[in-house]
């Protein structure tokens, strides 16, 4: 939806398609993103991330802010808001009981959107989890549960747009407001009618907001 104006590149996070899934610290995650830009010979890039992807963008800002122009941080948080051990146990329970990442995703997607997704979008999203190994899923989940970018966000001078779905119950509006207030150049945009997957639930609104900010 943005490729008419921008060169759009999607990064597969560690753990997809057999990539290494060793435990990664925020600094290591941010470094891998910068190394990705190095490999593509891109001196400066804007970053757009949703949920965990937005956490990754924050980590990259913490490693090399000079390599990033602007950042769109959608449906994410400054820090994880509940007990990480309890959340991990509840979130990973389907996998602990022998289920697959796809089965976990299928059960979770409906709970985090404001309105049901179309069958094809829902299926595509769930099947994407099939590219993730169980080990990588567990490590990514741990990254979420122990996320805390307070120190990073307070020192970031890059322009950042924090996007929040109006009905996001995973990272609700107060989380987005706290992140926006901590970022020195943070701005907030709310997508009406969207839940936690704002870019997927309302792509036209998301793309318009993103286009205007990056331009």
Does residue 15 surpass a pLDDT of 80?
no
- Give the mean pLDDT of 190-199: 98
**Token pair for residue 1?**
């939806």
Of 114, 117, 199, nearest to 161 by C-alpha is 199
List strands edge to edge, sheet with 160-165: 45-50, 68-74, 160-165, 186-191
CA 41 centroid distance within chain: 24
Q: What's the chain's Rg over C-alpha atoms?
A: 16
**pLDDT 10s digits, 18-47:** 666 577 899 999 999 999 999 999 999 999
Residue with tokens 């407001």: 177
- Residue 67: which pLDDT band, with cuts at 50, 70 and 90? very high
- Rounded distance, CA 121 to CA 118, Å? 5
Higher pLDDT, 162 or 19: 162
**Token pair for residue 107?**
């059960």
Q: What global pTM score does this model have?
A: 0.95
- Burial letters for 150-184: b for 16+ Cβ neighbours within 10 Å, e otherwise? eebbeebebbbbbbbbebbebbbeebbbbbbebbe
**pLDDT 10s digits, 90-130:** 999 999 999 998 999 988 999 999 999 999 999 999 988 88
């Amino acid at each position: 939806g943005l490729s008419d104006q921008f060169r759009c590149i999607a990064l597969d996070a560690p753990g997809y398609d057999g990539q290494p899934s060793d435990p990664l610290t925020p600094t290591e995650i941010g470094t891998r993103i910068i190394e990705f830009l190095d490999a593509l010979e891109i001196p400066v890039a804007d970053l757009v991330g949703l949920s965990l992807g937005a956490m990754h963008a924050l980590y990259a800002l913490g490693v090399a802010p000079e390599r990033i122009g602007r950042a769109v941080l959608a449906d994410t948080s400054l820090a994880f808001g509940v007990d990480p051990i309890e959340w991990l146990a509840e979130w990973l329970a389907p996998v602990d009981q022998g289920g697959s990442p796809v089965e976990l995703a299928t059960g979770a997607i409906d709970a985090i959107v404001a309105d049901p997704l179309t069958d094809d979008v829902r299926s595509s999203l769930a099947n994407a989890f099939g590219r993730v190994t169980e080990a990588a899923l567990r490590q990514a989940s741990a990254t979420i549960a122990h996320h805390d970018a307070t120190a990073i966000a307070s020192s970031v001078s890059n322009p950042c747009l924090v996007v929040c779905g109006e009905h996001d119950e995973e990272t609700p509006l107060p989380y987005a407001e706290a992140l926006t207030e901590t970022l020195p150049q943070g701005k907030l945009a709310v997508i009406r009618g969207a839940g936690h997957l704002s870019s997927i639930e309302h792509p036209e609104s998301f793309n318009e907001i993103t286009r205007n900010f990056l331009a």
